Amino acid sequence: MSTATLIRTQERTQERTQETPASDLRVIPIRQAMGDAQVAPLGTPCSSCHLCDLCLPCGMTDGDVECLDSLTFGRRKVKAGQTLFDEGDHFQFMYAVRSGTFKSSLMLADGREQISGFHMAGELIGLDGVAYGKHASTATALEDTEVCVIPYAQLTRLATGNASMQNMVSRLMSREIIREHSLMLLLGSMNAEERLAAFLLNLSQRLKARGYSASEFHLRMTRAEIGSYLGMKLETVSRTFSAFQQQGLLEVDKRHIRIVNLDGLTRVFEMHLH
């Protein structure tokens, strides 16, 4: 999704909202809109959620967070292996991950799955549907997960006439652009060791921001999924993990990772920058 497309889509959404009086807007209950999906009322408001510093309220004023609390959000559990939404599904909601990990993927013409991202608690997914009204990818739970269900139309209505809320919506779009640019950098100009080092360092930083260990963690994704995301064959992923062990950078036990030499792993990534 290009920057221009995102901006045009947001402008059209705001224009349509401004043309329609608030009293004429029809709010479809989340349970009705999501059909058979098991959606429960959201028990914890954004203002008191332990992930508020990472999620939607990040950077917002107390008053704006109170406005968020007034919206009708839902809560949905997704079992490991189940999809939150599928490629081509009608776009109505964005989702904030409360617990667990998701992967985003696209199905290639030859039937292969291409992983486009991994998402953990405090991160938002589903914005790929903004441009054309349909989700461009599939979100699959890699473990038992829970998400907040956020009606996108309600969010954009709330942003009408509120500059800080409009900035929040723009910031969400910008995150998508930055994520796509980061993936392009990984795939376009790094060798295998640099790609895997960048992936592990990014994962380490994200876990640290959530209060978990930055040096020891359990991978929720398979090596094949890591390879798909990084544009590497499974054999290359396994060989690179082994090389990092031999260099004294990592200790690896199946999916359990311990970063032994963080500075050394960082140097592997930074070699690309010099």
Does residue 38 share a domain with residue 75? Answer: yes
61-97 burial string, b = 16+ CB within 10 Å, else e?
eeebbebbbebebbbbbbeeeeebbebebebbbbbbb
- Interhelix angle 234-246/192-209, nearest 10 degrees: 80
Answer whether 0.85 is exceeded by the pTM. no
Does residue 108 share a domain with residue 9? Answer: yes
Residue 183 lies in a domain: no
Does residue 163 share a domain with residue 76? Answer: yes
Residue 228 lies in a domain: yes
Does residue 215 share a domain with residue 239? Answer: yes
Per DSSP, the residues of 76-145 read EEE-TT-EEE-TTPBP-EEEEEEES-EEEEEE-TTS-EEEEEEE-TT-EE-GGGTTTSB-SSEEEESSSE
Q: Which pLDDT tens digit goes with each residue over 64-110?
A: 777 777 777 888 999 999 999 999 999 999 998 999 999 999 999 99
Which domain range does residue 267 map to? 190-273
Does residue 95 share a domain with residue 16? Answer: yes
Q: Which pLDDT tens digit goes with each residue over 115-169?
A: 999 999 988 899 899 889 999 999 999 999 999 998 888 888 877 877 777 777 7
Q: Give the number of other Cβ atoms within 10 Å of residue 147's Cβ.
A: 28
Residue 208, domain CATH = 1.10.10.10
